[in-house]
Amino acid sequence: MYALEQIKEYLKPAGWMIATNLKKEIKLVAEQVMDDEIVEGAAVFTRGLTGFKQYLGVITSKRILTTDKQKNFIAFDLDGINKFTINKKLTTFEVNFDYKDEVVQINIIDDDIGKMLLDNLKEKLGIFPTESNDTEARQIVRVMKAIKMNIDILNGKEQLKQNGSSYKLAQTKPGTVDISVDYHEGETFKLVKWERVENVQKSASSIVGWTVIGSKFGNAGAIAGAMGANIGKDKSVATLFLKRENGEKVPLVIKCDKKDLEKLSLLIVAEEEETTQAAPPSTTSSIPTDELIKLKELMDAGILTQEEFDAKKKQLLGI
């Protein structure tokens, strides 16, 4: 069960004893994670004045999942949470909110995974508390709601700084996205554009076109091969055109279904349009040799047809 493994992975920093003590709750909560939900954090909650009674808290892309005092499963839809406040206590964060005419209080242990879950929760609710003392409820301000999704990368993994098997995309600010690998901190990229791929050859040409202006991404044949091998009847493919702060271009080819495409459509690209600087005129030749060679490679690899090659060649030569 994928959700079970995700929850256990998030709880690892808390130690094996926590995972052992909460074994039944982990299994119970994992079984309730829906197919269209993404597990985005897990932490230890506490009950009682002494805080010795510990239980499980999980946040997904849609809900807070936990158990009641009788260890029965309960869930809170994020869209139904109102009047959210946080009080910092000595060893916990006291979180209060209204949910369906009920006042709910949860106490999250103040450790690394607790802080991560709380930050994720605030981000998903679009809530950023102002500074206050430990006993005052913090003021909240509604901002842009984050867009988060798991992504299945078909090509381009080697360009990311971390290695792993699970990839997530998040947008909390217009024009940028964060890509995280497994449970490492995400890297921020400028989102130049994204394109849905209806035609494998066309997409490969587009990516290689980006390679011409500086991106290290491999050859067109390998890209087309990766797409052809992975795309299914009910799947589509999209290309994310990303850019690091140092200007390095990072195109990622991802597999996506209908729900993924809906989330991609909500992403806000950078206002600044991607432009390509014109190359200075050559002192020895005006013929764009490099571009013609790459076009020939595309045609030889079966990415471009003879007609497409001839048309592009005429365009480059100004015929």
Taking Cα atoms as reference points, which of 39, 29, 22, 49 lies closest to residue 107?
49
More confident residue, 6 or 308: 6
Location of structure tokens 């003590």: 21
Average pLDDT over residues 145-149: 78
Maximum CA extent, the chain? 82
- CB–CB of 3/33 below 8 Å? yes
**Residue 23, both tokens:** 């074994």
Residues forming beta bridges with residue 75, ordered by sequence position: 65
Q: Which single residue is written with the structure tokens 């349009």?
A: 273
**Which string of b and e fits 262-286 if b means at least 16 CB within 10 Å?**
ebbeebebeeeeeeeeeeeeeeeee
Between CA 63 and CA 34 the distance in angstroms is 10
Count of beta carbons in the 10 Å neighbourhood of residue 111: 14
Q: What is the CA radius of gyration of the chain?
A: 24
Q: Over 80: is that where the pLDDT of 312 sits?
A: no
| Per-residue confidence band for 42, with pLDDT thresholds at 50, 70 and 90 | very high
Residue 135 CA to residue 164 CA, distance in Å, equals 41
Higher per-residue pLDDT: 104 or 195 = 104
**What single-letter DSSP state applies at residue 91?**
S
Of residues 305 and 29, the one with the higher pLDDT is 29
Q: Give, as one character, the DSSP assignment of residue 214.
A: T
Average pLDDT, the chain: 77
Which H/E stretch holds residue 46?
Answer: strand 39-47
Ramachandran angles phi, psi of 85, nearest 5°: -135, 155
In one letter, which amino acid is 185?
A: E
Q: What is the C-alpha to C-alpha distance for residues 236 and 234, in angstroms, rounded to an integer? A: 7
Q: Is the pLDDT of residue 109 over 70?
A: yes
CB–CB of 95/84 below 8 Å? yes
Convert the pLDDT of each residue in 179-236 to its tens digit.
Answer: 999 877 889 999 998 887 655 555 555 555 565 334 444 444 555 555 555 454 445 7
Over 60: is that where the pLDDT of 269 sits? yes
Cα separation, 56 vs 161, in Å, equals: 32
- pTM of this prediction? 0.45
Q: What is the 3-state secondary structure (H, E, C) of 108-174?
A: EECCHHHHHHHHHHHHHHCECCCCCCCCCCCCCCECCCCEEEEEEEEECHHHCCCCCCCEEEEECCC
